[in-house]
Chain A
């Protein structure tokens, strides 16, 4: 059986996703029995010609958001050279943190790429706004997270590269995957296009904190109180986005005493994570006094930057392009 071919690439973002791949170094080395990593600029210094040389790859792992025209071209080229594409990390799945700069009134940084001098030096031009690769090309699968957890990432890679070839590996990967995806890969077929290699419910389902009654009397910012350990952060008045966010991380932030900020994107049943949070918070505040409610509403700051911290480009109904214009943002339908 010929070896499969794997490409790994990061557009604009940080190195955390690629470092996560390095962290599963031993697992990745074990892949080499049936897979060759033929293109990985960060680690191998691979040139674009390498992709042409080895023909279409079986799987391309793509991290990072689209910030420059070079990112856009790279995403298009990788798509045309790959049979399957797996977006990893919040930037590649939803646009991620870099998209928050689009909330800024004015970009103060000079943009050398837009000048004549920049053209002389072949600097790529900046895109008007940051977008996710799925808004440019069709992405087959998604593994969200900032960065994705090693278990999920490894399960996704194994599922897509060992499909129908190695039963123990598939069984191991399937044990960590959502049921629908696990059913597909154990049956030897690919999961449904658009599938997300993460949990199906909300972070609250896996958060270790105790939920009692979702009612609170006051809203606090994270620096204002020392929340009780073990008790739901939202119930203590801290904006935690766990109820609108897809699980899969295991609640690592809330376990560390930090509220969820939604790096896994919205859950199956949520249309817009910000709207969901506003609705949830409004319905759980323990007051009916209009004056008191207004004070609380006024105390919420930067809702867009908080509720769409990682998803502004794709999941904010007011900011994201119409669904007809975008290719295939992670599919919840």
Chain B
């Protein structure tokens, strides 16, 4: 047996690598996550109201969905102003996440911090790309300022609490948010224009994504939709049922579990048999929106230039197009949300009066659909917890993408670093 290991893979939270095992027959390609923070054990025994802060370690959006779950545990309805602040924070997180992904893509072949070993080899990056990359990080910083205003902190927000938010915004923040929204809006137009004109051709190979199901939350009725690769709905159900519809599998070669559609059954990741697997995230959401005939026009036009509007055969380029499309959608929403009338009101929170034994919530995060379910004892101490994160749901897709890139790479033995780079870029939009 011979192993080839491509590591470390860039830009992924946690350690990731691709291992190719050459034994008798076809080589086996595995996408491995090689550590585990045991987040569920971390939460057991904690007071349930502390979970939004603890779970933000997964991503800032988990702070939000955890607070939504607490709304359910404490049976409390957040005030309208708090809902707007939460939504505004959520949109800001989309911007930060998506812009960072684009930054990584544009810097994938030329180190932004001028690593001398790479920069000497990469003198052919067009200056307009370099400028765009620079501008992206400047606008990430602006979006982070907005998320600090709304969430108290940027990477690990603290201000979303059961029933609302923990503070009113201070007076100077209203004008500042308005200013930030305007700046981000103009920049999103610039990115959209740039992508429409140039696409991602230089950065990306035209790798087609395998025909795999997707899961997303309908923006119209909040139901969860399972769609096939053609966008046709296979199943719709209330979010509360998600942990009944989805199951998990642990494979011996990775610490990251896989989620799959229970009714179809689990099949280890295999590009020739995708049954049971599904993915979440921007491309899944856009697939749903396009099939529902509800995309915002500018979003669709950007998406169409990045690959095609044909969601049946999306490419990696299309997946990046979905990121840009969502970015444009987000800035149009923050222009409405970052307004004084939306972010003011008589009350920031409703104080819970009762506590139930359990609570559930799901939402679309920048990474994809996420859901939490808590069971608590009479004192509000967490006894059981279920967490559905995007990394688990996209694990099978990522594994299959790695398999496909390796399979289609004729230069694997000759230049594994080039293969690694292609894998990194192909995994980036998920």
A residues lining the B interface (CB < 8 Å): 12-16, 19-20, 22-23, 25-26, 28-29, 31-32, 36-38, 40-47, 50, 67-68, 70-71, 97-98, 100-101, 103-105, 107-110, 112-113, 115, 117-118, 120-124, 126, 146-147, 221-226, 229, 252-253, 255-258, 261, 301-302, 305-306, 309
Contact = CB atoms under 8 A, between A and B. Distances in A.
Nearest to B30: A121
A250 B58 CA distance: 24
B70 interface: yes
Contacts of B420: 45
Contact of A108 (B41, B45, B151, B162): B41
B118 A109 contact: no
Contact of A221 (B3, B40, B49, B252): B49
Given A226-B349, A256-B159, 7 more contacts: A13-B57, A22-B137, A38-B117, A113-B255, A118-B252, A120-B253, A258-B159
Contact of A257 (B58, B117, B159): B159
A161 to B, nearest CB: 13
A31 B113 CA distance: 9
Given A101-B41, A121-B32, A258-B159, A225 B351 contact: yes
A123 B254 contact: yes
A314 to B, nearest CB: 17
B37 A12 contact: yes
A123 B38 contact: no
Contacts of B30: 121
B42 A117 contact: no
A332 B372 CA distance: 39
Contacts, number: 210
B211 interface: no
Contacts of A104: 38, 41-42, 44-45
Given A37-B115, A226-B351, A256 B10 contact: no
B424 interface: yes
Nearest to A249: B153
A118 B19 CA distance: 13
B111 A14 contact: no
A211 to B, nearest CB: 18
A99 to B, nearest CB: 9
Nearest to B136: A25
Contacts of B44: 104-105
A126 B37 CA distance: 10
Contacts of B5: 122
A107 B253 contact: no
Interface in B390-421: 420-421
A222 B163 CA distance: 11
Contacts of B351: 223-226
B45 A67 contact: no
Contact of A229 (B42, B45, B168): B168
B58 A258 contact: no
A319 B236 CA distance: 48
Contacts of B80: none
A9 to B, nearest CB: 10
B257 to A, nearest CB: 8
A241 to B, nearest CB: 12
Given A256-B166, A258-B158, A123 B253 contact: yes
Interface in B238-266: 250-255
A223 B163 CA distance: 8
Most buried by B among A14, A40, A223: A223
A98 B380 CA distance: 22
Contacts of A29: 112-114
B384 to A, nearest CB: 10
Interface string B27-40: 00010101111111
B46 interface: yes
Contacts of B349: 226
B141 A109 contact: no
Contacts of A261: 53
B38 A44 contact: no
30 contacts: A12-B36, A16-B155, A22-B137, A23-B141, A25-B113, A25-B137, A29-B112, A32-B113, A40-B115, A43-B10, A44-B10, A45-B10, A67-B37, A68-B35, A70-B34, A71-B35, A97-B42, A101-B39, A107-B38, A118-B252, A123-B34, A147-B155, A252-B152, A256-B152, A256-B166, A261-B53, A301-B47, A302-B47, A305-B47, A306-B50
Given A43-B10, A253-B158, A112 B167 contact: no
Interface string B105-136: 00100011111111000000000000000000
Contact of B166 (A15, A100, A257): A257
Nearest to A54: B117
A123 B13 CA distance: 17
A202 B70 CA distance: 31
B47 to A, nearest CB: 5
B100 to A, nearest CB: 7
Nearest to A124: B34
Contacts of B253: 112, 117-118, 120-121, 123
B103 to A, nearest CB: 8
A16 B156 contact: yes
B158 A256 contact: yes
A40 to B, nearest CB: 8
A126 B158 CA distance: 30
Contacts of B112: 25, 29, 43
Contact of B41 (A37, A109, A253): A109
A44 B115 contact: yes
Nearest to A33: B114
Contacts of A41: 8, 10
A149 B343 CA distance: 27
A112 B46 contact: no
B113 A109 contact: no
B161 interface: yes
Contacts of A257: 152, 159, 161, 165-167
Contacts of A67: 35-37
A122 B252 CA distance: 10
B381 interface: yes
Given A22-B100, A258-B159, A43 B45 contact: no
B9 interface: yes
A255 B158 CA distance: 10
